Amino acid sequence: MAPPFPVETLRHWYVTPFGGHSDDLSFYQVGIRRDALEANTELNPDVDRVRIGLLGQRNARPFLLDRPFEVVPLDERRPDALARSPEGEAVFPQGDEVVRHPFPALQPGDTVVINGVAAKRLSQDPERLAAVLESLFREGYGRSAS
């Protein structure tokens, strides 16, 4: 039977409990049990990078300044991290202030939001980001000039 987490709430947006910290991971990595990733997400750890947030907390960093996280499929090669993700929970590096910076200290059971929208939508059409940004700047410029 597949682990119950992560759960897709919106297309390419997933929620999962926070499982803890592990020395098996490096900064800007989020680990999730391999079989949970495969069963419950469309994320490809080899290429997709995700934004991390906490449910109910607004991400204070703008999209272009927010560093994406590498998704690490946890298996027996990372035993400590794997033990913290028995049902597909998110695991972060030990002492990862990068994750906590805009948020309060994470506690086991807190709900983590894994946003893979940019990875899925922009990887299919890399020129799309440039077009979206151009459109936003034009709209913003037009409003300020009025």
pLDDT digits (tens, 9 = 90+) for 1-33: 889 999 999 888 899 999 999 999 998 899 999
Count Cα neighbours of 73 within 13 Å in the Cβ-side half-sphere: 15
C-alpha distances in Å from residue 95, one per residue of 8, 78, 116, 134:
27, 17, 24, 38
pLDDT above 70 covers a percentage of the chain that reads 69
Mean pLDDT of 96-112: 69
Give me the pLDDT at residue 71, please: 95
Give me the pLDDT at residue 109, please: 82
What secondary structure letter does DSSP report for 106? P
Please report which confidence band the pLDDT of residue 107 belongs to, taking 50, 70 and 90 as the band edges: confident
Burial of 94 (0-12, 13-18, 19+ CB in 10 A): middle
What does pTM read for this prediction? Answer: 0.76
Q: Best-predicted range by mean pLDDT among 8-22, 94-108, 121-135? A: 8-22
Mean pLDDT of 21-46: 93
The mean predicted confidence, pLDDT, of the chain is: 81
Structural domains for the chain: 7-121 (2.40.40)
Contact criterion met (CB below 8 Å) for 32 and 88: yes
Contact criterion met (CB below 8 Å) for 22 and 84: yes
